[in-house]
Structure 1
Amino acid sequence: MIDLAAKAGTDIDTAKTYLQALEKAGHIEVVQENHGHTDKRWNLLRDNGLEAPRLTRDGKPVIQGRAREAMWRTMRIVRDFTFHELAALASSTEVTVAPTTAKDYLKHLLNAGYLIVINKGNSKGNGHKASRFRFNPARNTGPRPPMIQRTKAVYDPNLGQVVWQEEPDHDC
């Protein structure tokens, strides 16, 4: 385990916790254990591909961020959409995307240049009509969805950088 932690660039406790979660989730099994030592050998039972499994300590999949992943995947496939349509299309039996969640995510992605407005909506009167968007193919940076940080900045994990953040208000 010490070798694994060193190769992963993490401490032994973090490596141990993650390996226990992988074992509980059925991704790995112990095939050799030297009692009294931290020297174990594992066998991979389930290959998750390029992305490492995101698991809780008890081996359950992490569900945080799944709505964003579903919306990102859907936007890259669907030609154009409103926030209502995106919420409906991205929802599944495992993930429910609320329209308000889709609306907020689209607002941030629009600011960061990931979307093109093809029909501006209106919010006045009884004829409320939502804006229609199209995914900007020039901003198709990869499979991982951009994240909205607490500071409301947009971070793209595919690029490893903040791609948009609100200008500070210096008029205070």
Structure 2
Amino acid sequence: MALKRVNLRGRKSPAALAANDRRPPREIIWAKIRQLQTFTIDQVATPARVDRSSARTFVFGLEKAGYLVRLDPNPDTKELRFQLAKDAGAAVPRIGKDGERVTQGDLRAAAWRAMRSLKVFTIRDLHVTSGISETDAKSYINYLVKAGFLAYRLKSKHAGQVSRLAFIESRFTGPKAPQVTSIKVVFDPNVGEVVWPIVGQDAIEVAP
């Protein structure tokens, strides 16, 4: 029987395709889980380019939240297998390592919408408008300024002065809120890229 010749020129290997996948790691892992249905931790960690311990933490959280069931009852088994039990769709379940729903992302998404609506605002404005805590708002704003999404109209220099910030409309790339990852980089899910830190990038300042 004659063998069919397949032209592989120009095709990318699975490893190359994985390297070019700019989605957040959790999004890649969740998509792989939905694709495989039954899987091992290595099978979802490899395409996401994360170590096994990080992938395991997320998988265990999904298990505790009821999205997965463990097929191998022995916790000492090296190759634990899991099966998708509850498919919530393409959106990644927002859960912590204990399986509890994470609300910080929801609050930051609400704060992001409020920033664009208010245009110029204080941390207190964001807290009242979106429900985000002032502590988290301050942290989130710090990274958004570094990434150029926001700029200070007035930066507090003493205790009685309140900082005011401006939303930079030209930096708006879409409705999804920029994400501050666990390794402290700013990821823009609208364009699928890390937007801070970038060599040579400075925060934008707006004159009062």
Residues 21-170 of structure 1: pairs in structure 2 closer than 5 A: 21-30=61-70, 32-33=71-72, 38=79, 40-47=81-88, 49-51=90-92, 53-56=94-97, 58-62=98-102, 67-76=107-116, 78-83=117-122, 84-91=124-131, 96-98=132-134, 102=137, 105-106=140-141, 109-110=144-145, 112-115=147-150, 120=153, 131=164, 133=166, 135-142=167-174, 143-145=176-178, 147=180, 155-158=185-188, 159-161=193-195, 162-163=197-198, 164=201
Instruction: Name the aligned partner's letter for residue 60 of structure 2.
Output: Q
CA distance in 2, matches of 1:130, 1:29: 49
Q: Quick check: 1:28–1:42 contact (8 Å CA) kept in 2?
A: yes
- TM-score, normalised to structure 1, is 0.57
Query: Any gaps of 5 or more consecutive residues in structure 2?
Result: 1-39, 204-208
CA gap of 1:86–1:10, structure 2 versus 1, over 3 A, is closer
SS of the aligned residue for 1:160 comes to: strand
CA distance in 2, matches of 1:149, 1:45: 26
Q: Quick check: 2:111–2:130 contact (8 Å CA) kept in 1?
A: yes
CA distance in 1, matches of 2:54, 2:48: 10
CA distance in 2, matches of 1:122, 1:18: 39
Q: Quick check: 1:26–1:46 contact (8 Å CA) kept in 2?
A: no
Q: Identity across aligned pairs (percent)?
A: 25
- TM-score, normalised to structure 2, is 0.50
How many aligned positions are there?
A: 150
Instruction: Name the aligned partner's letter for residue 141 of structure 1.
Output: T
CA distance in 1, matches of 2:155, 2:52: 55
Q: Displacement, 1:54?
A: 4.1
Q: Quick check: 2:127–2:133 contact (8 Å CA) kept in 1?
A: yes
Q: Quick check: 2:147–2:186 contact (8 Å CA) kept in 1?
A: no
SS of the aligned residue for 2:60 comes to: helix
Q: Please give the per-residue CA displacement for 1:122-158, whole angstroms capped at 9, x wherever unaligned.
A: 979xx9676363x2232123524254999xxx84312
Instruction: Name the aligned partner's letter for residue 178 of structure 2.
Output: P
Q: Displacement, 1:110?
A: 4.4
Whichever structure has more helix as a proportion of its residues is 2
The Cα RMSD (Å) is: 4.3
Q: Quick check: 1:108–1:148 contact (8 Å CA) kept in 2?
A: no
Q: Displacement, 1:82?
A: 1.7
Instruction: Name the aligned partner's letter for residue 27 of structure 1.
Output: Y
Q: Quick check: 1:27–1:45 contact (8 Å CA) kept in 2?
A: yes
SS of the aligned residue for 1:29 comes to: strand
